[in-house]
Structure 1
Amino acid sequence: MFESFENLPEEKKKRIIDVCIEEFAEHGYRKGSTNEITKKAGISKGILFHYFKNKKNLYLYIVDYVVKCFSDILAEQMEMMDSGDIFDMIRDISFIKIKAFTQAPAMYEFTVNAFLSPPEEIEEDIKKRYFQLYNDNFKLLAQKFDTSKLRNDIDEKKAIELLFISLDGISNKYIKDYKGREKEMINNADKIMKEFEEYMHILKVGLYDMGR
């Protein structure tokens, strides 16, 4: 669909993507200006729309790009993890995410804007991407989940689903608490991780046979 753009030299392609991320991170989808993007990227508006046809396609392309960047980092790190305690793995994955966000704050702010409050005209497209990301991460984590510590009366699949639902809820809590103060969230990473581990401990007590 975006063959003309994909065939550009990597340096030029990356410059356009970086400018788009910064513009949409700061102003969101509706207020993000394609005029500003073309000016900062050093291309004409006609060329930009030749690549993407319209603003919606451009925005969703950037969403896919950012999601792939973070997913690749996560998948690479998870490949190196040994199968074992699910809560230790979740903690490590959370640290990886925070580190990645700290190193790319504009991408982080863009991700928050895209998934927390998508405009109505692209809401369904964003939801599809979110659920695909959720399912991919679920499968990766489930493959490495050592279920030997679970209580005997607990269904393994439901236990993993509960963890993901809980993780999603905790993540959304912090995203909403720090909406508009994303840089402050990064600065408070240590405090957030301490609270996060407290939530995980409560779940562990409920799911594990602590005598094992």
Structure 2
Amino acid sequence: MFEMNPDVPKDPEKVERILVSATKIFAKNGYLQAKTADIAKNAEVSKGIVFRYFGDKGHLYLATVTDVIKRLTDQADFSVWTDAKDLGDMIERAVRYKIELQLEYPDEFRLSVQSFGEMNVLPAEIQPAMRALWQQQTTTSLTTLEEPVLDRMKLRPGVDKTILKKLLSAIGTTVFTDAEAFMRQHPDAKIEDFEPIIKQIQAEYEILEYGFAAK
């Protein structure tokens, strides 16, 4: 978990209550409209404790999003991805599974999706860390989820796997950019609203896998 003030002694139970409260209130109201006083009240701690533990509202938001991503990652069944027969199958499985998780963890998913579109309204000193967090998630996704699928696929002789991974990484970067732009225009979007982007990813993977020139 990200900590603004790592040297400050903290009560783990209060930290947990603050993060749970912040998840709910940030997800409901967004960064700009959420009030630290409401988060503190809902967590049954003083506003001073929130600031002492996390520094300010921006760093509390960053810590909350970081915690949410960790919690969702800990709950995820990665076999949904890694057991896929090819990249297209993996994307389809992933979309369905994410919708199931969204129904089970609505606040966590809403906040994680929202955090894309809210990057440009965060304090300037928070934006690089939030962007780095999501770019790291994209990189981890390639390594943890896509590589096992690639390892099972029969590659054409002469294909350099290192170059292939770079191409997949480039697609991942495009996905990150497209998703961020989409969230700016649709701040209340749900996972299923990303279907056009998912279909775009599938098409890109299909072209990458089968080529684009006529035989």
Which TM-score applies when normalising by structure 2?
Answer: 0.72
1:4 to 2, 6, 10: 10
8 Å contact kept, 2:10–2:53: yes
1:126 to 125, 130, 133: 130
Aligned partners of 2:92 and 2:169: how far apart in 1? 13
Change over 3 Å in CA distance of 1:157–1:91 after alignment to 2: farther
8 Å contact kept, 2:23–2:108: yes
> 1:153 offset after TM fit, Å?
4.0
1:139 to 139, 143, 155: 143
Q: What letter matches 2:97 in structure 1? A: I
> 1:148 offset after TM fit, Å?
4.3
Change over 3 Å in CA distance of 1:13–1:26 after alignment to 2: same
Q: Aligned ranges for residues 67-146 of structure 1 at < 5 Å? A: 67-74=69-76, 76-78=77-79, 81-82=82-83, 84-118=85-119, 119=122, 120-141=124-145, 143-144=147-148, 145-146=150-151
Q: What letter matches 1:41 in structure 2? A: A
In structure 1, the residue matched to 2:166 is 161
Long gaps (5+) in structure 1 = none
Change over 3 Å in CA distance of 1:93–1:187 after alignment to 2: closer
Change over 3 Å in CA distance of 1:99–1:183 after alignment to 2: farther
Long gaps (5+) in structure 2 = 1-5
Q: What letter matches 1:64 in structure 2? A: T
What SS class does the counterpart of residue 126 from structure 2 fall into? Answer: helix
Change over 3 Å in CA distance of 1:98–1:3 after alignment to 2: farther
8 Å contact kept, 1:28–1:113: yes
Change over 3 Å in CA distance of 1:168–1:14 after alignment to 2: same
Give the alignment's Cα RMSD to 1 decimal. 3.4
8 Å contact kept, 1:63–1:111: yes
In structure 1, the residue matched to 2:3 is none
Aligned partners of 2:108 and 2:180: how far apart in 1? 14
Q: What letter matches 1:87 in structure 2? A: G
What SS class does the counterpart of residue 149 from structure 1 fall into? Answer: coil
Change over 3 Å in CA distance of 1:203–1:115 after alignment to 2: same
**What is the count of residue pairs matched by the alignment?**
203
What SS class does the counterpart of residue 43 from structure 1 fall into? Answer: coil
Change over 3 Å in CA distance of 1:167–1:181 after alignment to 2: same
Between the two proteins, what is the percent identity of the paired residues? Answer: 26
8 Å contact kept, 2:91–2:198: no
Change over 3 Å in CA distance of 1:113–1:182 after alignment to 2: closer
1:206 pairs with 2:211:
yes
8 Å contact kept, 1:142–1:160: no
Q: What letter matches 1:103 in structure 2? A: E
8 Å contact kept, 2:18–2:50: no
What SS class does the counterpart of residue 125 from structure 2 fall into? Answer: helix
1:47 pairs with 2:52:
no
